[in-house]
A and B are shown apart, each in its own frame.
Chain A
């Protein structure tokens, strides 16, 4: 019974310490803000996904063409629009002047 009591007390103490740990480690933190995705960063992420999708689709089209799943004429019909999509996505992601400064400001604001 006493063993159970001791172990129980240790367990309870452990739980309290575990939960308080972040505050014990940094009793006075200058920045307590949770990393937030600003709108600009969300847009960048969405564009990155569009780019990856377009590039992935191109790669798969090439592979399917090589394995014979997609015929020559189907390939010719599909590859043009896909290449344009990929090019558009890459262009949209190109770093523009002031983007990084703007997002940094967004984050800190």
Chain B
């Protein structure tokens, strides 16, 4: 069976190569059947990659340890769900997942667009094929998942910290995001190669970009939740380069999502948009490079592998090639309209873009600087959280404020008078809330207080938009408030879906501010019966439980929780000792308060032989807002993505129009 897997990957390699060569030739010489043949090759590449993936999944499920990959990442007692997720638990498997999703997306993009934009698709195919070619090459020549050995009695097992539902979903979700950014990139390059000056490529890829961006955001939240619950140091984001690797493309994609709106509405920023999509895609490749080669000294240090130099080379080709193409097509991309006023919605989008790109580049510098320093000067340097947190505040807080300003400003030109009228209510609300919070002691952290005040402003402006819109809708066509509200959202899905997403980001900001600026921590060694006070809580160590699970021994210290004299149940924290993997993991105890949104977070740092326990406990205010924000984020994205019949008709008229006027 491994021969089938290897053969399938070789077939993928061949099909991808054909797609590149035949596709480019067909587009260059304008041959219809050859172009269709190249498109079929891409679709075929998905089928062959699917076969290769099926072979690997079958080997995993069968516990076939003659596959080196299966032996290294699973064991007999591993539950089936985690056995399947071991597919992407190791390097070769994760590359295969990348290729699978890439060919899947490519096939879908081709199938959905082949009838509508023949000349554009003709050039998109070789670009998508080239990316697929790179990954297929790695899998066939450099890092094959189908290496064989004489089967050992049992496998090495999956790293215990990966045996967690969030860790199962995190990599596929991230990859849906990373890989998804390939599609807008390919269409942008395709449009340049086809010498097209219209916005077709943006219209065709709008939903793809949104889906990729949403998946990347959710993937990061899943990772953060895993870090919070499973790694258990008390936080959810450590500015580890591996984490930044996913954040950077997401920020660039956020900037891109906003700036394409300007290009659609005003025909401006065309060069900027192409550069942004190149940046987003390059960063997603760079992110994969960072996590897959051993080039970092982060808390997850991977051994230096053979794929590092290849990735770096490919990224250089992508960046240099794209820039050369953009430069060559520069005359075609010149904008036809000008920014009329620095106080306009276009301008706020521009400021938003500048801040997002600035933040992305500073994070990139923080990641690249130690690597460059070591490469050039030889000695190692470490960039700490202080650097990142500083720039997060410098760029992030104004971004937060802009989220509230943008919706209240009109397109083209806004007079200060009408701005003042719109701002009055949300600004007043924000200042009021700020004053109240200050009185309640939030002044202990100035950035936190600013974050809260700005958040109130944004939520106020979003609410104002919904209220004003519903009122106008109702004035226009009558009906009840709920009917007017749903009609409003249905007719302006992108705008109001976008507002919901903004609300989610604000909730995220509130959760982050609360849990990092206003948390309390307490620690100490406890014998049975002893109490530890943290914040308003009192924890009393009651008992030490030990039990045998399927693949581990679980030890838990049970503590009674009490607040303000009331007993609130128990919380258990401790360790798991995994038998096959011979590793110990930290299992924290979390008690979430659903009313206040705060978490009582307990770590049993050390369990001693005499039964005493060293406990560290946190109170993290509002941290659950972060996870709730994830749900609202998905809701907002769904509203924005929802197909709009009216918009489809309008686009059909526009793109069919040009043809209709030229006859049958």
Contacts and interface: CB of A to CB of B under 8 A. Distances in A.
Answer whether A and B touch in the complex at a CB cut-off of 8 Å: yes
B7 A53 contact: no
11 contacts: A3-B1, A8-B7, A14-B44, A14-B47, A32-B31, A46-B197, A49-B199, A67-B472, A70-B418, A93-B657, A104-B663
A57 B48 CA distance: 47
B405 to A, nearest CB: 12
B34 to A, nearest CB: 8
B415 A100 contact: no
Contact of B468 (A49, A67, A107): A67
Interface of A is mostly: helix
B122 interface: yes
A100 B663 CA distance: 6
Nearest to A99: B661
Contacts of A15: 11, 14-15, 41, 44, 47-48
B650 interface: yes
Interface residues of A, number: 60
A11 B51 CA distance: 9
A29 interface: yes
A4 B3 CA distance: 7
B1 A4 contact: yes
A93 B657 CA distance: 10
Contacts of A22: 32-34, 36-37, 40
Given A5-B3, A41-B658, A74 B48 contact: no
A69 B423 CA distance: 10
Interface in B420-454: 421-422
Interface in A36-77: 36-37, 40-42, 44-46, 48-50, 52-53, 56-57, 60-61, 63-64, 66-71, 73-74, 77
B417 A56 contact: no
Nearest to A70: B410
A97 interface: no
B654 A52 contact: yes
B662 A20 contact: no
Nearest first, the 9 closest Cβ-Cβ pairs linking A and B are A103-B662, A22-B36, A67-B468, A71-B418, A100-B663, A34-B30, A22-B33, A8-B7, A4-B4
B99 to A, nearest CB: 16
Contacts of A107: 662
A14 to B, nearest CB: 7
B655 interface: yes
Interface in B180-207: 196-200
Contacts of B11: 11-12, 15
Given A69-B410, A74-B414, A42 B196 contact: yes
B663 A101 contact: yes
Q: Which of A33, A70, A104 has its CB near the most chain B CB atoms (within 10 A)?
A: A70
B471 interface: yes
A84 to B, nearest CB: 14
Contacts of A3: 1
Contacts of A93: 657, 661
Contacts of A63: 472
Given A56-B265, A71-B415, A32 B198 contact: no
B505 interface: no
B411 A61 contact: yes
Nearest to A52: B654
Contact of B472 (A12, A33, A66): A66
A98 B506 CA distance: 56
Contacts of B32: 22, 29, 31-35
A92 B595 CA distance: 61
B56 interface: no
B41 A35 contact: no
Contact of B30 (A21, A26, A33, A104): A33
B411 A60 contact: yes
Contact of A19 (B41, B422, B655): B41
A49 B44 contact: no
Contacts of B399: none
A44 B197 CA distance: 12
Contacts of A66: 472, 475-476
Contact of B4 (A7, A36, A52, A99): A7
A53 B37 contact: no
Given A68-B468, A70-B418, A11 B48 contact: yes
A49 B31 CA distance: 28
Contacts of A45: 198, 200, 655, 658
